[in-house]
Chain A
């Protein structure tokens, strides 16, 4: 059932878009980004390479031009061929907003391991719980997170429930199972 409606996700436009405000700002500071199709409401959406994520965010959070100092949420999305870690940034001081995506291709993830994205939690405390939750539910490992444990599911849970291939453990709801920790 999950395969059937997960087969055709929304793909980004194939043609290259010119850099908008934040793309230009980052380019001026020597960081490359790739612009994606705008989110609804004409919100700029850029893709960053994993190694550029932390310097770019540090820059945009503190720079007087951007002041993206309000981290709304971090979401993990599993698309057909890749994993996305999606960051929504707003500002407490102005009306600017930005969506940042870090993409990990499924073909780059070794068998039996989780996709890896650098953590921003040490630099930005708001990211701490969002990253833990995304690790828990979507199974993206945030490298460098100070305390990457499951947040919503029990600590000994198996699998990542928002994956398309997730199967619920048979005994997960069985209180009578003497071996269950739950």
Chain B
């Protein structure tokens, strides 16, 4: 507040308070989608200082990784980022595979890409639904994205056995082939999904209230994004073309033809548009994968084997690229001694895993690099100077998952 205004208030109405006010948001704020506490210093309506208090969801995931065997820990890590469990599993598997030098079979890589791109869609759909609630759209919009999310969850359940905590991507491959008829169901979904995205866009993108709440709000400059080590749609909305699928290609992404949406506005609206465009690209990627997958659908794979039974996934008769596991796992899984870091592009950015292995059945040191953690560390840069009413609009737009922050 300006000094003239201060003196004016002090002379005319001395009982009025003009000093800054500290208020507490959370830890159980409905819009934080988890447990985050923000200690906000306000000057009138304007945010002057933010101190995030983390750790309410700290589950010692790194400690658990060091005190459980590799085989046991694989089942736990889906909980690190519960909305995109495929990517946490994939990061762990890739770091162990780079240390081991494992060559993952082609079919397994394709199944990984299909399932994780589906996971990217579900993650963005949940973000879209809840973000509109954060903005105050209490008219039931979330039911639209959640309708499609349920369909994808049914497909996940059919192949991985679980709807969210998949434990599907394992060190060396994936755990099983999809059941009969699964690819056909997925193609039906892909056929109708672009029209559904149009439907969300018809409701949201041109909505004047939405535009008022998001255009020009929460501007993130590329310099700030880079100095805070941010990644994912947040930086792509600020004009930084960082997508590990393109910049540091892994798996089979070099064989696929897709675009990475990059916007230059850097505001909340650009982050929204980036995610919408990414969902459309996911459909494109999955379509190509279904066309190119070695061995074709599960029915075709079994027909080639001369059997229709479900139990021939690790048959010796299969050509190597049709296998789904490089080496069959058992509970005594070991990773040879060495150090390695591997990362994948999750819906929130670069998720990576630094592993120090000493050759035993447990890792010597685990270290997670979480996109939400690094993106959240820039929160004070984003919030300072904006009105309190925009705090949740900006916080929601960087799509932070609190279990991913606290681990």
Nearest residue, chain B, Cβ from A74: B367
Residue in B62, B340, B373 whose CB lies within 8 Å of A129: B373
Nearest residue, chain A, Cβ from B51: A147
Nearest residue, chain A, Cβ from B55: A152
- Interface stretch of the complex, out of A15-23, A65-73, A107-115, A173-181: A65-73
Number of interface residues of B (CB under 8 A): 45
Chain A residues numbered 125-154 whose CB sits less than 8 Å from any CB in chain B: 125-126, 128-129, 137, 150-154
A73 partner residues in chain B, CB cutoff 8 A: 352, 354, 367, 369
Size range of the chain A interface in the assembly:
35 or more
- Decide if A55 is an interface residue (CB 8 Å cutoff): no
Q: How far apart sit A150 and B55, CA to CA, in the bound complex (Å)?
A: 10
- Decide if B228 is an interface residue (CB 8 Å cutoff): yes
Q: How far apart sit A124 and B228, CA to CA, in the bound complex (Å)?
A: 7
A69 partner residues in chain B, CB cutoff 8 A: 226
Contact between A72 and B343, CB atoms less than 8 A apart: yes
- Interface stretch of the complex, out of B149-157, B162-170, B240-248: B240-248
- Decide if B364 is an interface residue (CB 8 Å cutoff): yes
Contact between A153 and B228, CB atoms less than 8 A apart: no
B364 partner residues in chain A, CB cutoff 8 A: 5-6, 9-10, 77
Contact between A75 and B226, CB atoms less than 8 A apart: no
B343 partner residues in chain A, CB cutoff 8 A: 72
B66 partner residues in chain A, CB cutoff 8 A: 162
A5 partner residues in chain B, CB cutoff 8 A: 358, 360, 362, 364
Contact between A40 and B62, CB atoms less than 8 A apart: no
Q: How far apart sit A126 and B227, CA to CA, in the bound complex (Å)?
A: 6
Q: How far apart sit A1 and B362, CA to CA, in the bound complex (Å)?
A: 12
Chain A residues numbered 1-47 whose CB sits less than 8 Å from any CB in chain B: 1-2, 5-6, 8-10, 39-41, 43, 45
Given contacts A5-B358, A72-B350, A73-B369, contact A92 B226 (CB under 8 A): yes
A75 partner residues in chain B, CB cutoff 8 A: 354, 365, 367
Residue in B62, B98, B248, B340 whose CB lies within 8 Å of A137: B62
Residue in B55, B226, B342, B369 whose CB lies within 8 Å of A151: B55
Most buried by B among A9, A71, A73: A73
Given contacts A40-B339, A73-B367, contact A152 B226 (CB under 8 A): no
Q: How far apart sit A68 and B376, CA to CA, in the bound complex (Å)?
A: 21
Nearest residue, chain A, Cβ from B338: A40
Given contacts A40-B340, A152-B55, contact A88 B240 (CB under 8 A): no
- Decide if A161 is an interface residue (CB 8 Å cutoff): yes
Q: How far apart sit A92 and B247, CA to CA, in the bound complex (Å)?
A: 9
Contact between B229 and A126, CB atoms less than 8 A apart: yes
Residue in B101, B360, B369 whose CB lies within 8 Å of A72: B369
- Decide if A49 is an interface residue (CB 8 Å cutoff): no
- Decide if A99 is an interface residue (CB 8 Å cutoff): yes
Q: How far apart sit A1 and B67, CA to CA, in the bound complex (Å)?
A: 9
Give residues in B with beta carbon < 8 Å to A.
54-55, 58, 60, 62-63, 66-67, 98-99, 101, 226-229, 240, 242, 247-248, 337-343, 350, 352, 354, 356-360, 362, 364-365, 367, 369, 373-374, 377-378, 406-407
Q: A5-B362, A75-B367 are in contact. List 18 more A-B contacts (CB 8 A).
A: A10-B338, A39-B339, A40-B339, A43-B341, A69-B226, A70-B242, A72-B229, A72-B350, A72-B369, A86-B354, A88-B352, A90-B248, A124-B227, A137-B62, A151-B54, A152-B407, A154-B55, A162-B365
Question: Could you write out 27 A-B pairs with CB less than 8 Å apart?
Answer: A2-B67, A5-B362, A9-B364, A10-B356, A10-B359, A10-B364, A39-B338, A39-B339, A39-B341, A43-B341, A70-B242, A72-B343, A72-B352, A73-B352, A73-B354, A88-B341, A88-B369, A90-B248, A126-B374, A137-B62, A151-B55, A152-B58, A153-B55, A153-B58, A154-B55, A162-B63, A162-B66
Give residues in A with beta carbon < 8 Å to B.
1-2, 5-6, 8-10, 39-41, 43, 45, 69-73, 75, 77-78, 86, 88, 90, 92, 95, 99, 124-126, 128-129, 137, 150-154, 161-162
Q: What 6 A-B pairs come out closest when comparing CB atoms?
A: A126-B229, A40-B340, A152-B55, A75-B367, A73-B369, A40-B98
